[in-house]
Amino acid sequence: MFQKILIANRGEIALRVLRACKELGIQTVVVHSTADADAMHVRLADESVCIGPPPSRDSYLNVHQIVAACEITGADAVHPGYGFLSENAKFADILAAHNITFIGPTGDHIRVMGDKIEAKRTAKRLGIPVVPGSDGAVTEEKEAKRIAAEIGYPVIIKASAGGGGRGMKVAHTEADLEVALQTARSEAGAAFGDDAVYIEKYLQKPRHIEVQVFGDGFGRGVHFGERDCSLQRRHQKVWEEANSPALNAEERARIGGICAKAIADLGYSGAGTIEFLYENGEFYFIEMNTRLQVEHPVTEAITGIDLVHEQIRVASGGGLSVRQEDIKFNGHAIECRINAEDPRTFTPSPGTITHFHTPGGLGIRVDSGVYSGYKIPPYYDSLIGKLIVHGRNRVECMMRLRRALDEFVVDGIKTTLPLFRDLVGNADIANGDYDIHWLEKYLAKEE
Ligand code: ADP
């Protein structure tokens, strides 16, 4: 087991990882920018190292400083959290070259899945169902038209290097396609330094369903069931649930089994998420994330398994603490992402939190790094906390969520809490009847 883990992240996830380390009796080092000197994870860590000024590229993305911090403090492993360097293959390689363990998969696995064209090709080879579309990058308009005619309109043009919901264009007709292809390529080139784009069928009313997988480091793969993250705004997840209200136990076992086998065949090690769109009973792979996800706590709630403990165990060579048959799904869990944003316009609302009071009681978990008097710096993501609620079934979970949202107090800034208070009373949400466009349509109506 590791002696000392360096946490290369900030906010709620830094605290989340820190908690797991403390439980496992592992010493912790956190790195932080000058803007985060007062952050909770800095206060609670055994050691902290200031690695630079506020902009992420000078601090949380500064590989040299982070490696230096490992060497100064004698950390033997790095947990990257999500975002920042968590899916940076070069970072994983550099740590390996310094004999520091990256708590995550190998640089090569990150590289394959980071390139969406390559990821889709790999998924197909491993027997994972994919969205119909081009086999690789598409550059010629003629070829694009031929493929689109074959799969049928509407189609979506996606950047191979895309991420965070950026670099996508939908074409409804052949006339749209020309412009969509050109804009997608130039936007991808400008945003990612790589103008490779590919085409796939645009699914009209899918749900976003993702499977949590783990490779144990010894060639075995398991799945921890799925999460439904269909409630999105601008391709960003807002509310996540486990299990999906749309799947039954057979479908869960079927897609989970396909994913677990793929992970084993890939020789993958650590946590991963295989993301699908789901429509008319069919799954279509869209991408794989080679890291811990923001929404992992809903899986923890229904399985009772600490996924960060498992990541640390696997990375240290100790394998998983559970076999597939030990993973049982109990009840239902929902996570609300609480952002420091205006609940209508979603414009960021940094500033000082004058009062912060979190709900409690059975089945309630709040993962947050903020506190009363905390000043939210304007430089980073607006996520200030996650409310995760568990119940014996979805009805009980929703009842408890409504009560928990009423108890939650965040004063001094605007947050997305009012949005969740509206959603929890909505009939479609109560029925679990929504697709990936539901929230955008709902917000448009409310305006
Ligand atoms: P990113 O890596 O940028 O998050 P993804 O490929 O995961 O990109 O897609 C993000 C979101 O875009 C999906 O959750 C879905 O809402 C939408 N999307 C992606 N591909 C399709 C498709 N073929 N049809 C319909 N919607 C899609």
The per-residue pLDDT for range 239-291, each reduced to its tens digit, is 999 999 999 999 999 999 999 999 999 999 999 999 999 999 999 999 999 99
- Is 132-201 CATH 3.40.190.10? no
Please report the atom of ligand 1 found closest to the CA of residue 237: 14
For residues 119 and 125, give the distance between their C-alpha atoms in angstroms, rounded to a whole number. Answer: 10
170 lines ligand 1 (CB under 6 A): no
Looking at residue 163, its pLDDT comes to 79
Q: What is the DSSP code string of 236-279? A: EEEEEEES-TT--HHHHHHHHHHHHHHHHHHT-EEEEEEEEEEE
Domain ranges of the chain: 4-103, 132-201, 207-446
Residue 164 CB–ligand 1 contact under 6 Å:
yes
Q: Is the CB of 234 under 6 A from ligand 1?
A: no
Select from 235, 284, 436, 439 the residue to mutate for testing ligand 1; criterion: most ligand atoms less than 8 Å from CB: 235
Q: Where does residue 231 fall: left (phi above 0), alpha (psi -120 to 50 degrees), or beta otherwise?
A: beta
Give the atom of ligand 1 at the shortest distance from the alpha carbon of 201. Answer: 23
Task: Answer yes or no: pTM beyond 0.85.
Answer: yes
**DSSP 8-state class, residue 387:** E
- Catalogue the active-site residues: 291
Distance from the alpha carbon of residue 40 to the mean position of ligand 1, in angstroms? 34
Span 35-78, pLDDT tens digits: 999 999 999 999 999 999 999 999 999 999 999 999 999 999 99
**235 CB within 6 A, ligand 1:** yes
Three-class SS of residue 165?
coil
Distance CA 71, CA 263 (A): 33
pLDDT, averaged across the chain? 96
156 CA to middle of ligand 1, Å? 9
What whole-number distance in Å separates Cα of residue 138 and Cα of residue 157?
9
**383 conformational bin, left if phi > 0, alpha if psi -120 to 50, beta if neither:** beta
The response to whether residue 156 sits with its C-beta less than 6 Å from ligand 1 reads yes
Q: Residue 222: enclosing H or E segment and its boundaries?
A: strand 221-233
**Among 176, 178, 82, 165, CA closest to 116:** 165
- Write phi, then psi, for 129 (nearest 5 degrees): -65, 135
Ligand 1, residue 167: give the atom nearest the CA. Answer: 3
The pLDDT score that the predictor gives to residue 281 is 96
CATH of domain 207-446: 3.30.470.20
Q: Is 439 in the pocket of ligand 1 (CB under 6 A)?
A: no
Q: 4-103 adopts what CATH topology? A: Rossmann fold (3.40.50)
Please tell me the residue having the least CA distance from ligand 1 atom 15. Answer: 235
Nearest alpha carbon to residue 9 among 67, 91, 84, 62:
84
Q: How many angstroms separate the alpha carbon of residue 168 from the centre of ligand 1?
A: 8
Low-confidence ranges of the chain (pLDDT < 50): none
